[in-house]
Amino acid sequence: MTYLELRTATTSSRTLRLALAGALALAAWLGWKAYGPRDLGDPVATSLVALEKQDRLTVFSAQLSPVVAADDERMFGMLKSRQIAVIPARVDYSVDLATMDASRMRWDSAAKRLDVTLPPLQPGKPNLDEGRAQYLREGVWITPDAQAKLTRDNTLLAERQATEQAANPVLLDLARNAARDAVRQNLAIPLQVAGYGEMTVAVRFDGEPDSR
């Protein structure tokens, strides 16, 4: 049995994501002003400058609640115990922008569109919040050693289950959409302020069809 809680739909998380994107865009613009190309005819180089300082961009976080059970037997099966645990977990999804180069961008001057191809989305390792875990124990007598083993087993099982939940196609789609929005905004703002005017940034991932 598993429970899944998504917090990305909340107003606060959206506001935070937009504020972060705006701050990154401002930093990219300042970097462009200081180190970027002076010729407006090179939007790809300008975009690379905007991205190079960001390295790994966290675009989405999923709150998960794995429900796991562990069993223990001692004294030739005379002492049996069981511990069910609900352990909150967070998984962050990121894009490695350090791998971005000119081959992943294409500028269409006629359409005033920048096509960007991102590397694969990367779900991170689950971050378990065992301080907020809830436990249900069964057994006549649970020794300290048995208790420690049950808790260790619960942790391992919860981490494994959270990793499986993080690979859910719905979560992956949400994370990819968040990545597209973040990169689109982080590139469009500096380019527009730099003098490229009204233009479009089309973002896709490796293996996805061209949006044109």
Kind and range of the H or E element at 72? strand 56-74
Residue 212 lies in a domain: no
Residue 97 lies in a domain: yes
pLDDT digits (tens, 9 = 90+) for 124-148: 999 999 999 999 999 999 999 999 9
Residue 188 lies in a domain: yes
Q: How many domains, the chain?
A: 1
CA neighbor of 40 nearest in space, from 197, 201, 202, 187 = 197
Residue 210 lies in a domain: no
Residue 73 lies in a domain: yes
pLDDT digits (tens, 9 = 90+) for 151-173: 999 999 999 999 999 999 999 99
Task: Find the length of the chain.
Answer: 212
Taking the whole predicted model, whether its pTM rises above 0.85 is answered as: no
Segments forming the whole domain that contains residue 10: 2-205
Residue 95 lies in a domain: yes
SS3 4: strand
